[in-house]
Amino acid sequence: MIEPSIKKIEINEKSEIPKKKKGKKIFIFFLLVIIVAGGFLILKPKYFFPESAIKENLNLIKEGKLEKAYILTSSGFKEKTSSEIFRKFISQHPGLEKYKSISFYKKSKEDNVLIFEAVVLTSEEKTIKIKYKIIKEENIWKVHGIEILKEE
């Protein structure tokens, strides 16, 4: 049997990528975007959620790492509050060193400062009503102010 010879192979410039391959490429692209975005949320939550700066501050206080808690405050906070005053404030409110959890109940904004009012629950089951001011500096949320509203 004689096979017919091929006389011409031509690629039409208007030919399209099969839709199956196009869909697969789009799916892979969106999957990568989701993975990258998820990685940022898992690895660097303080960049995305101002509440994380508050929780980090309280955890550092609980662990006795007051210098680090102070370092992670805003430049404006440091201008008005020395490290010594910060330590004295914490010592006057020992419930902060016994931080167990926090529940936020009010959020507001003044200029570029977010204000959170919350209830801190201590390991002794006591509560502290607290107000935190948070500001974003260099793409990181930082504590800009702390006020104890009521200790029980």
Nearest CA-CA partner of 121 in 55, 72, 75? 55
Q: How many separate domains does the chain show?
A: 1
- DSSP SS3 for 3: coil
Whether residue 1 is contained in a domain is answered as: no
Out of 29-38, 91-100, 113-122, pick the least confident. 29-38
Whether residue 8 is contained in a domain is answered as: no
Distance, in Å, from the CA atom of 122 to the CA atom of 104, rounded to the nearest integer, reads 15
CATH number for the domain spanning 105: value is: 3.10.450.50
What is the DSSP track for 52-104? HHHHHHHHHHHTT-HHHHHHTB-HHHHHHS-HHHHHHHHHH-GGGGGEEEEEE
Distance of CA 102 to the CA centre of its chain: 16
Average pLDDT of the residues of the chain: 84
In the predicted model, is pLDDT for residue 43 greater than 90? no
Whether residue 22 is contained in a domain is answered as: no
Whether residue 26 is contained in a domain is answered as: no
pLDDT category of residue 11 using cuts at 50, 70 and 90? low
Phi–psi pair at 107, nearest 5 degrees: -135, 135
For residue 8, what pLDDT is reported? 53
- Whole-model pTM? 0.69
State the maximum Cα–Cα separation within the chain, in Å, rounded to a whole number: 101
Whether residue 65 is contained in a domain is answered as: yes
pLDDT category of residue 44 using cuts at 50, 70 and 90? low
In the predicted model, is pLDDT for residue 38 greater than 90? no
- Strand (E) or helix (H) holding 67: helix 66-71
Determine the structural domain holding residue 90 and report its residue range: 48-151
Whether residue 52 is contained in a domain is answered as: yes
Whether residue 35 is contained in a domain is answered as: no
Per-residue pLDDT tens over the stretch 55-80:
999 999 999 999 999 999 999 999 99
Whether residue 14 is contained in a domain is answered as: no
Nearest CA-CA partner of 98 in 129, 63, 123, 73? 123
